[in-house]
């Protein structure tokens, strides 16, 4: 694996690993409470290195090896973290590969960075703070969160998620499914049918909402939210190859 480096981000010291190679650079954006040591990130780095492709993986503030507290962060902060690393570390065109929340962050970055050449979404979860967390909370839970500043949501992937008032309120400023989302480059969306965290309805909604001429969605029967089985990883590789050329 490539060595871990650090830089000063907008709110914390940020960790990242950059592998030089041919462009466009593949940028992996991990999910909520995930980090750059996850199966997909590490696998794709090794694959990119074998292909001679440039690759970047990173940890948002409060995640993995970056500084800051997870509970203090929000979508806007983490998108700014990713943008700061990209702008400081690499030049030229890039392909955004976003997993779950990383798919939302990729959507945000796609509207901020003129050099995006493609997007691969893996169980992409745009607007999940509003359409997921907030929508599923009871009135009592909403009141608790608004009063105390945090609500602990049970998770199938470890400790409960700390859903903060700041996360919800900032999320409303970052929504991407309520306004135009132009992507004038190849887009590939991958979605497992057994994903219990992100529904196929979300994938279809994103597919319909993206404004582009080359946007495709692949539904994979039997795949779950992790999308990390060998056959799933091969599909991600194929999608990146299609998008990056």
pTM summary value? 0.95
pLDDT-based confidence at 157, cuts 50/70/90? low
In the residue annotation, 225 being an active-site residue is answered as yes
Task: Tell me what the mean pLDDT of segment 194-202 comes to.
Answer: 94
Provide CB contacts within 8 A for 177, sequence distance 6+: 126, 127, 131, 205, 206, 209
Q: Which domains does the chain have, with CATH numbers?
A: 5-127+184-244 (3.40.50.1820)
Q: Looking at residue 126, what is its pLDDT?
A: 98
Residues 100, 110, 131, 170: which is the catalytic one? 100
- Copy the structure tokens of residue 232: 């799933």
> What distance in Å separates the CA atoms of residue 169 and residue 122, rounded to the nearest whole number?
25
In the residue annotation, 100 being an active-site residue is answered as yes
- Copy the structure tokens of residue 47: 């694959």
Residues 30, 59, 110, 225: which is the catalytic one? 225
- Copy the structure tokens of residue 18: 């950059």
């Amino acid at each position: 694996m490539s060595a871990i480096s650090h830089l000063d981000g907008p709110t914390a010291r940020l960790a990242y690993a950059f592998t030089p190679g041919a462009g466009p650079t593949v940028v992996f954006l991990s999910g909520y409470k995930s980090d750059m040591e996850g199966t997909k990130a590490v696998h794709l780095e090794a694959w990119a290195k074998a292909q001679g492709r440039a690759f970047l993986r990173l940890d948002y503030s409060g995640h993995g090896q970056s500084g800051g507290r997870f509970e203090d962060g929000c979508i806007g902060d983490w998108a700014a973290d990713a943008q700061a690393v990209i702008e400081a570390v690499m030049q030229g065109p890039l392909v955004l590969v976003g997993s779950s929340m990383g798919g939302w962050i990729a959507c945000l970055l796609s509207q901020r960075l003129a050099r995006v050449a493609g997007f691969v979404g893996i169980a992409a979860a745009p607007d999940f703070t509003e359409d997921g967390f907030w929508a599923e909370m009871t009135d009592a839970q909403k009141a608790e969160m608004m009063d105390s500043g945090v609500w602990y949501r049970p998770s199938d992937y470890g400790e409960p998620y700390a859903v903060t008032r700041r996360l919800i309120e900032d999320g409303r400023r970052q929504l991407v499914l309520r306004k135009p989302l132009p992507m004038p480059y190849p887009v590939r969306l991958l979605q497992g049918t057994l994903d219990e965290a992100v529904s196929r309805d979300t994938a279809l909604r994103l597919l319909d909402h993206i404004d582009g001429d080359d946007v495709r969605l692949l539904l994979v029967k039997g795949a779950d939210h992790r999308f990390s089985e060998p056959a799933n990883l091969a599909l991600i590789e194929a999608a990146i190859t299609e998008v990056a050329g």
